[in-house]
Structure 1
Amino acid sequence: MKVGILKADSVLDRFQPEFGDYPDMFRAALGAAGGEGVTYRTYDVVAGVYPGRPDECDGYIITGSKLSVYDDEPWIHALEDYVRLLDDTETKTVGICFGHQMVAQALGGKTEPAPGGWCVGVHEARIVESIAAFDPPRERVRLLSSHRDQVSRLPDRARVIAVSDDCPVSGMAVGDHMLTFQGHPEFCKGYSRALLEYRKDILAEKYVRGVSSLAESTDETIVSRWMLGFIAGR
C-alpha cells in the first residue's frame, strides 16, 4: 500500500533533531500500528507540489499546519481545490487537525476559532458512528491535541463520527472515502510537551492543564490502525 502525505507545514527547526518532521511522525505512528510494509511519498503542498494523478497513491493524509484553513494564502486555496478533486474521484483521504478542517471547508463546511480558545494536551472524544475500519472498535479515544480552530458547520454530505466536550466535531466522514480527526494520532507526548513549553506564555492557565493531562493514556496506535484500515479499504 502506498500512502501520500500532503504536507501542509514543517515542524520547527528546533524540534526536528529529536522528533523529525510531520511525515516522519506519520510513518512512525502508522508503522507502530502494523503498517511496516507501507510505502510513503511526501508532497509539499505549501510549495505547490501535488501528485500527478489522484491514483498515484492508494490514499492520502493531509497534515496539520500552524496556519488556519480560512487564511487567505494561495497554497491553501490550491489545497482546497485538490481536496475537491480527491472527493470527486472518491480517493481515500484522511485529514488530521488542519487537514480535518480543510476537508470540511473545501466541501462546503466552515471552520472558525474555537470559542474556548486553545485546546492542548490529551483530550477524549466519544465515537458516535463506528465505521468498518474502526477495528478494534472503541467507544472513546484519547488523542493529543493542539489547535485553536474547529469545524463549526459540517459539509452537507459529511457525518459526525466523534464528539467531545471541547470540540463538537472531533471526527468526520464523507462517504466511504474521507475520514478526518481533530486530534493528532501522529504526535508523541514528548513533542506535545515541547509544544506546550514553546507556547507557555500564550496558553496561560491551559498550559498547566495540558502538561498535567500528559499523564493520561492515549490511543494513537488504535487510531493509526483505523487510518491504515480505512486507506486499505477495510
Structure 2
Amino acid sequence: MARITIIETGHVPRKYRERHGSFPDMFARMVRAADPQSTFDIVSIPDGDALPDPRQVQAILITGAAAGVYDGLDWIAPLEEFVRTAHANRTPMVGVCFGHQLIAQALGGTVRKSDKGWGIGRHVYQVTPNNGVVAGEQLAVACSHQDQVIEAPGDARTILSSDFTPHAGLLYANGTTLSVQPHPEFDADFAHVCCELREGSAPDAVVATAKASLAEPLDSAKLGAAITRFLTRR
C-alpha cells in the first residue's frame, strides 16, 4: 500500500472549499481513482505544519499555490532544501503547477512570470515519445498560471510541451522526480472556477476562450494515473 505525503502549499479559496475540497482532497481523489489502496499524510504549509524528513517518507506530492516561487516568502527556501534532499535520496516526488516551478527552481532552473500572460482553461500539450511516464501524442489538461519554468534544470528532460508552455512537464534524470505545469487534479467545474477567479486580471477574451474550452474533453484521468504509477511503483 502506497503512502503519499501531500505538501499543501496554498489553500483553495474558502467559498469554493465546501463544494470542491482542498487541493489535497483533489489529489487524493485523483490518486485513488487509479490506486484505491493509497493513503495520505497531509502537510499544510499555510496551516503552519513542519516539513517532514524527506528521507523518511514513501512518496511526495507538492500542490499548487497562489504564491510565486520567487516571492521570497520565509517557507520557500526550506521547501527548496526539502526538494533537494528528496531528489538526492531518490524519494519519488511529483510537483504540480507551483510544485512544478518550485522543484525546477530548487534544482537549478529559472522560473518567472511569463510575458505570454495567463494560461487558463483547457490547454493541449505535446507528449515526448517514449518518455517512460505517459503515453500518447498529446494530452488536454486544465491549467491556471502566469508563472512558468523558463529554463529547465540541466538534468531535466521536457516530456510535455506547448507553444504557450514550452516546459510543461519535466522528468529528471534520477528517474524519481517528475513535475507538470497543468492540473490533472482539477475537474472541469473547478477549472471553470479558476477562469472566473481571473476575471478582471486576465483579458476578457482570454477568460471567455478559456471557459469555452472546458466544454471539450479533458485527459486529466490519464495524466493523473501516470502520476499515481510514478509515485506508487515499488
* Contact residue 55 and residue 86 of structure 2 kept, 8 A: no
Indicate yes or no: 2:17 matched with 1:23: no
State the secondary structure of the residue aligned to 1:85.
Answer: helix
Counterpart residue number, 1:108: 108
Q: Which runs of 5+ in 2 are unaligned?
A: none
Q: Displacement of 1:200 after TM fit?
A: 1.1
State the secondary structure of the residue aligned to 1:133.
Answer: coil
* Contact residue 129 and residue 136 of structure 2 kept, 8 A: no
Q: What fraction of aligned residue pairs are identical, expressed as a percent?
A: 30
The 1:133–1:198 alpha-carbon spacing in structure 2 relative to 1, beyond 3 Å, is closer
Aligned ranges 1:113-128 → 2 under 5 Å: 113-128=113-128
CA displacement 1:36-94 (0-9 Å, x = unmatched): 1000011113425212x324332111100101001111101111111111111111100
Aligned ranges 1:54-133 → 2 under 5 Å: 54-133=54-133
Distance 2:130 2:168 in 1: 14
Counterpart residue number, 2:189: 190
State the secondary structure of the residue aligned to 2:143.
Answer: strand
Counterpart residue number, 2:225: 225
CA displacement 1:118-155 (0-9 Å, x = unmatched): 00000010011433333xx2111111000001001111
Over the residues paired in the alignment, what is the CA RMSD in angstroms?
1.3
Distance 1:21 1:191 in 2: 11
Distance 1:22 1:130 in 2: 30
Distance 1:144 1:199 in 2: 14
State the secondary structure of the residue aligned to 1:73.
Answer: coil
CA displacement 1:173-199 (0-9 Å, x = unmatched): 112011111000001111111221222
Selected match of 2:168 from 167, 170, 174: 170
Counterpart residue number, 1:199: 198
* Contact residue 129 and residue 160 of structure 1 kept, 8 A: no
- Residue 20 of structure 2 aligns with an amino acid whose one-letter code is F
* Contact residue 69 and residue 76 of structure 1 kept, 8 A: yes
State the secondary structure of the residue aligned to 1:78.
Answer: helix
* Contact residue 81 and residue 106 of structure 2 kept, 8 A: yes
The 1:68–1:15 alpha-carbon spacing in structure 2 relative to 1, beyond 3 Å, is same
TM-score, normalised to structure 2's length? 0.94
* Contact residue 171 and residue 181 of structure 1 kept, 8 A: yes
Q: May I ask how many residue pairs the two structures share in their alignment?
A: 230
State the secondary structure of the residue aligned to 1:162.
Answer: strand
Indicate yes or no: 2:158 matched with 1:160: yes
Q: Which runs of 5+ in 1 are unaligned?
A: none
Distance 2:130 2:58 in 1: 22
- Residue 19 of structure 1 aligns with an amino acid whose one-letter code is H
Distance 2:228 2:133 in 1: 8
Distance 1:56 1:41 in 2: 12
* Contact residue 48 and residue 75 of structure 1 kept, 8 A: no
State the secondary structure of the residue aligned to 1:202.
Answer: coil
State the secondary structure of the residue aligned to 2:185.
Answer: coil
